[in-house]
Structure 1
Amino acid sequence: MAKAEASVEELVSMIERGELRLPEMQRQYVWRSTRVRDLLDSLYRGYPSGAILLWETDEAVPLQSFAVSQSNNPYQSTRLLLDGQQRLTSLSAVIRGEPVSVRGRRRPIDLLFNLEHPDQLAVVTEVDENGDDAEVDEEGELGGDEADASEDELLTRFNKMTFVVATRKLEQLPQWVKVSEVFKTDSDAPFLKRAGISGFDDPRYEKYSQRLARLRGIRKYVYRMDVLERTLSYDEVTEIFVRVNSLGAKLRSSDLALAQITAKWRHSLQTFLDFQSACAQNGFELDLGLHLKNLMAFATGQSRFLTVGSLTLDVLQQAWKEACEGMEFALNFARSNLGIDSPALLSSPFLLVVLAYIGHRRDYALSTEEAQQLRYWALAANAKGRFSRGSSETILDQDLATIRNGGGVNELIDRLRLQFGRLEITPEELEGRNQRSALFKTMFLAFRAAGAKDWRSHLAIALDHSGSQHRLQFHHIFPKALLRGSYTPREADDIANLAFIGGKTNRAISDKAPVTYLLPLVAQHGAAPFAAQCIPVEEELLALDHYKAFLQERRKRIAAALNAFIHAVA
């Protein structure tokens, strides 16, 4: 294995010219903007950033596209990037000022650089850098309404950082500059002028100029490269890729499984991506690893990737065909029978694998009673967080084994009872739960089924409304600012203090007390819109000093609504 070195600038140019390519075995680009921010910060400080693993070959191997644009390779031989894709793609996007393609969508990586950053590295608690409004985030969670800190507190925390993910408000401040804009020019003048520096005698002139030069110096950062021999075969390189990443634990098991599958089933990656895209177009944007786990379930009757290397090409191809049919059934059942039309409403996507597998084993012919039982099991498992307790893969394999051994939905329900005991949801079970609880997702489902609407626009609550004023947010009925000092943050974020409304309504309410804003709304629209979300509107319960009594009463109503929804006949 040869050793070599190359600067960030040289590696970015190799990607742009098409000299450096991605083999099919590689996973997709997955980094979030905050990871790119941290990489830039490390390089800016001269911290180590690992090595790059390449393979130079004349063999015609299956390739995939980088998440950034490339020209056609002008050379006969190909340099394949085996380790370092996430770093180099991120750097290429930022330095070239290009968007990245993530799950079929192109988005920019907008980072800001703080010309007034502290000289010493500051340890800063993670802050929300995703803009003013929080709805459904990148992880598919239902988003929030109110910041945990005031704008002044957030700005103080931002100012301790060197790089941040861009927000509209920070972009307006003169000491924050766009990182990609700095890389596009060697002139400091535009940034110094914007910061209000008009001459050399300004004490900030030298400091800012040095910091801009240091930022551009990231292009000169040198990576060490390990280059595999040309004589190696694609299968040998795949084995090296799997071993290197297994030892380093840098990739998930599904990423390593993908490498083994694509080595055996050449050009299969695009097949997988096409199905992933088709599911996304139908509202279910699922991780590719979930589809591969579903493939394993259909190929082996269990979900782990331990035996993927021993599967033949014929078995993989037949299992994939059946897995796609099963997943289509699962998504249709989730949408039509459960009311779940987005992964954001799933406590775990593993639920879909079970639905896919049992549909397949029943030849997609369920009796009316069995379909109703399956609805009950799925909603109860989703509400209780079946796959979020203990080892999720072990629990998934238990359900798959139950089905594989001839068990039906009744046996799945028995397993659920064995795990949780009583399946009815109690008011006590809601206490202390917040928006990350599986019960919160079921609460949304139950409220939507009950006809819950925004309190001003009267649009039915939904995850896919267009426009920031209508986009769904969760609302603290007693605003957090009002509760601060009298109640703990845990009590303020209690699930019984949360409701679903549109962004404009949420912002209009702001920090008003419920006795101030809620009673006029009840007088105007009646109690029905609030009954749909189990909100008590009795004046005595809306007083600040009766907050705990309000939570207790609402928990009773929510528990009753959830149980009625889960037991309802579809």
Structure 2
Amino acid sequence: MDFHSRETPIDELLTGVDAGQLALPEFQREFIWSPSNVLELLRSIARRWPTGTFLLLEGHGGQFATRPIDGAPPPAKRPRILVLDGQQRITALYHALRPVAEEVYFLDVQKLVGEEPDEAFRFTKRSSFDAQYPNTKALATALILPFSVMYDDDSFYDWLKHVAEPFQSQVRRARDRDFAGLRRHVYRMPCIYLSPGIELAALAKIFETLNRTTERLDTFDLMTASVYSEGLNLRKEWSDATDEYPLLDRFSVDPLEILKLIVLADGLLGDGRPGVRQSDVLRLSPKIVRARWSRCVQAYADALRIASQRFGAISAGLLPSRAMVLPLATATISDPLASDSAAIERWWWRSVFRQSYAQGANTQVVVDARALVTLEPRSVGGVEVTPDVMLDSRRRNEMLTRGICCMLTTDGALTQEGIPVHQSPTGATTEPTRIFPVDSEPQLDVVANYMVATRNGPRRRRDYGAREDLLAAGSRGSTIAESQMISWRALRLDSASQLLKERAKLLAQQAEAKMQRG
């Protein structure tokens, strides 16, 4: 089998997409990354860190049907290159560096001052962004720098001339030094190019090997090695912890979260500096890890129990944000009874419905943990809860979608079997589930189109919608629908638009009521 490797400039790949010469084989899955995933990739590329290898097929000979990258022009009849592995990354880059996606990805320059640079990487809905910043001068005046502008020299300097000092020098320095990977021609992606004559059997074997053997070294592995010489085996400690607290396994908790909690607790309740970033964790001393490990494991498990029993997050698929567990756990360390306070309840629902952890979660964790430990009232910023937000894309509002399902669970939503969702069997998967299918009508993939449901088998198909099952259940289906704020009348009429508009209003009203309680 012939192949060669080459570090390929990002711009060469994106230009190929523009020209229809770089496309996807039809068998590739849809683009599923959330905007937060896109930002993570941009942060790594900005710093010129490795982001994996692309597997590409050269000289497409017509053996596969093709389709374009999401948002790109139609491919040529026989594209020069097909993406076999790397579709999510190339699509993410195309969305961020070309004005084609529903989201705009940008650098909030003001957040570079006195904050962690990662927090300056942001996204928002394009329609509202374009209305707020109609031209280059408006963007520059607000110190908002889209990555598509930052990437191109001419566009960047046209933007920069409208920026006043001292921000001009600061932005130029950040672009040239800190985030140089997001300049045209700088970042090169390692690519393996397969010859066009590759046999399907060989290709299948390559995919099997990639999917089976891809493992990454993470921060927990590095800390395990660091503290091992002090006689502390974190792998064994974590194994013992999951045996003692089954919730940790049920929620698929990454043991790194315990180390983050140790840093946070030591900073707010001890003598350390609070933080939850990778650099904060790597500064932990073995002595602090040993001293706080057991209590932090227990506190994290307690926080999951509170989230499950009190706030309806009964499974990993319903947890609005894993980062929210950390402030809650810190509060239980400070005061085991604090979790019963009205302040905790207000904080939870306001954070969930206003999606304050959707961006800048690391900073939010520290701010909220400090407020919960002192039980000081604090305003929660973020997206306002309106019917319009309920009719916005789920992909852009994942935290809200899960939060709505948590709310429905606490308010007595019923499963397809007619039992309360919170009484679902332990082995069942509880998750947001579509009411109307979205395969042929992607515009229906909005927050209001999701109810909370359980399943015992494999993941549902993209063309699944619960509507048919509810109608087939007759009177029981009517009771289930009403428990999930679904109009039975509109459901029977098969009026998706009418049902979702009605439901969006009800969900927004109930969310607002939740935020006022406590």
TM-score of the aligned structures, taking structure 2 as reference length: 0.52
Q: Provide the rounded CA distance (Å) in 2 between the counterparts of 1:472 and 1:261.
A: 37
One of 255, 259, 264 as aligned partner of 1:297:
264
Q: Within the alignment, does 1:317 sit opposite 2:287 as a pair?
A: no
The 8 Å contact of residues 265 and 313 in structure 1, kept in 2 or not, is answered as no
Partner residue in 1 for 2:161 = none
Aligned residue for 1:553? Answer: 502
SS in 2 for 1:499: strand
Q: Which runs of 5+ in 2 are unaligned?
A: 8-20, 38-63, 68-81, 87-196, 210-215, 269-273
- Percent identity of paired positions between Structure 1 and Structure 2: 17
Equivalence map 1:192-207=2 (5 Å): none
State the aligned residue count: 337
Q: Deviations over 1:274-327 (max 9, x none)?
A: 324544555232112211111211233312454556654433311223322322
Equivalent residue, structure 2, for 1:443:
404
- Kindly indicate whether residue 343 of structure 2 is the aligned counterpart of residue 373 of structure 1: yes
1:519-542 deviations in Å (ceiling 9; x for gaps): 6655x3374321111112235x76
Query: One-letter code of the match for 1:346?
Result: L
Q: How does 1:305-384 map to 2 (within 5 A)?
A: 305-306=278-279, 311-362=284-335, 364-366=336-338, 371-384=341-354
Change in Cα spacing, 1:125 to 1:299, as seen in structure 2 (3 Å) is: farther
Match runs of 1:15-414 below 5 Å: 45=3, 47=5, 123-124=24-25, 127-128=28-29, 253-276=219-242, 278-281=244-247, 283-301=250-268, 302-303=274-275, 304-306=277-279, 311-362=284-335, 364-366=336-338, 371-389=341-359, 391-402=360-371, 407-408=374-375, 410-411=376-377, 414=378
Shift of 1:394: 1.6
Residues 163/437 of structure 1: CA separation in 2 closer, same or farther (3 Å cut): closer
Q: Structure 1 counterpart of 2:476, which letter?
A: H
What is the rounded CA distance, in whole Å, between the counterparts of 1:315 and 1:511 in structure 2? 49
Measure how far apart 1:493 and its partner are.
0.5
Q: Equivalent of 1:494, from 443, 446, 449?
A: 446
- After TM superposition, give the deviation of residue 439 of structure 1 in Å: 1.7
Q: State the alpha-carbon separation in 1 of the partners of residues 348 and 294 from structure 2.
A: 24
- Cα displacement string for residues 244-300 of structure 1 (whole angstroms, at most 9, x for unaligned residues): xxxxxx855555444434455543332134324544555232112211111211233
Distance 1:316-1:126 versus aligned 2 partners, 3 A rule: farther
The range that moved more, 553-562 or 375-384, is 375-384
Aligned partners of 1:383 and 1:441 also within 8 Å = no
Amino acid at match of 1:441: R
Indicate conservation of the 8 Å contact 1:280/1:286, yes or no: no
Say if 1:447 and 1:533, in contact at 8 Å, map to a contact too: yes
Q: Is the Cα contact below 8 Å between 1:434 and 1:495 reproduced in 2?
A: yes
Indicate how the Cα distance of structure 1 residues 345 and 520 shifts in structure 2: closer, same or farther if over 3 A, else same.
closer
8 Å CA contact retained: 2:354, 2:400: yes
- Given that residues 438 and 444 in structure 2 are in contact (C-alpha distance below 8 angstroms), is that contact kept between their aligned partners in structure 1? yes
The letter of the residue matching 1:298 is A
Residues 392-440 of structure 1: per-residue CA shift (max 9 Å, x gap):
2122122234456xx21x43xx142xx2386xx3322312131652121
Q: Deviations over 1:433-476 (max 9, x none)?
A: 31652121122222223333344x32444696589xx8656554
Which amino acid in the other structure matches residue 269 of structure 1? R
Q: What amino acid is the match of 1:373? A: A
Higher relative contact order (CA 8 A, sep 6+): 1
For 2:403, give the aligned amino acid: T
Change over 3 Å in CA distance of 1:359–1:517 after alignment to 2: closer
User: Taking structure 1 as reference, are residues 264 and 478 closer, same or farther at Cα in structure 2, changes over 3 Å only?
Assistant: same
Contact in 2 for aligned 1:279/1:285 (Cα 8 Å): no
Instruction: Give matches, 1:432-511, under 5 Å.
Output: 432-434=392-394, 437-455=398-416, 457-461=417-421, 465=425, 474-480=432-438, 484=441, 489=442, 491-501=443-453
Alignment CA distance shift 1:392-1:527 (3 Å):
same
- 1:525 pairs with 453, 470, 476, which one? 476
